[in-house]
Amino acid sequence: MNNPQVKQRIKVKRPSNGYERGKTYVIVRVDPNDNTLVAADAQGREGSWIQWRHCEPCAHDINWPWLKAHLSSEALELLSGFDGLENLRLKDDIRDRILLQLPNLEDRILSAQVQLEEEFHSGAVSTTAPGDADDDSNDSPF
């Protein structure tokens, strides 16, 4: 492999430095001085420095034009609700609409907190109802 670029997708030809053969990675750093690179897997975990010669570019990148050419219109419509192609994450506005449509969401959240507290025997999970706390911070992931 010659002149790898950051954000380029690669596969490892042979296992080395924690990289798995045939698995796809994205290059995050390149050192042209010693012909090594660091790449991350789909979960964002970076490996160690690996020689360029142990890597090869992916045969093709999966991108939006490629998906449009290979997937049904129903699948494309579903995927259009997500950000990114790896580690799909619902767009914030779609996630919020879904959450607002759930019946008894507040009761479900409080019930889950109580269940977790009982399961882990921990007092770290708060069972304070929204609006009862003096703290105005919003720690909700939603």
Identify whether the C-beta of residue 118 lies closer than 8 Å to the C-beta of residue 127. Answer: no
> Nearest Cα to 82, choosing from 58, 62, 64, 100?
64
pLDDT at 127: 46
Integer CA distances (angstroms), 87 to 2, 76, 131, in order: 28, 16, 34
Identify whether the C-beta of residue 16 lies closer than 8 Å to the C-beta of residue 50. Answer: yes
Q: Is 136 exposed, middle or buried (0-12, 13-18, 19+ CB in 10 A)?
A: exposed
**Residue range(s) occupied by CATH 2.30.30.40 in the chain:** 9-57
pLDDT at 138: 46
Summarize pLDDT for 78-137 with one digit per residue, the tens.
Answer: 888 887 766 677 788 888 888 888 888 888 888 888 898 888 865 554 444 444 444 444
Q: Is the pLDDT of residue 16 over 60?
A: yes
- What class has domain 9-57? mainly beta
SS3 annotation, 53-107: HHEEECCCCCCHHHHHHHCCHHHHHHHCCEECCCCCEECHHHHHHHHHHCCCHHH
pLDDT at 86: 60
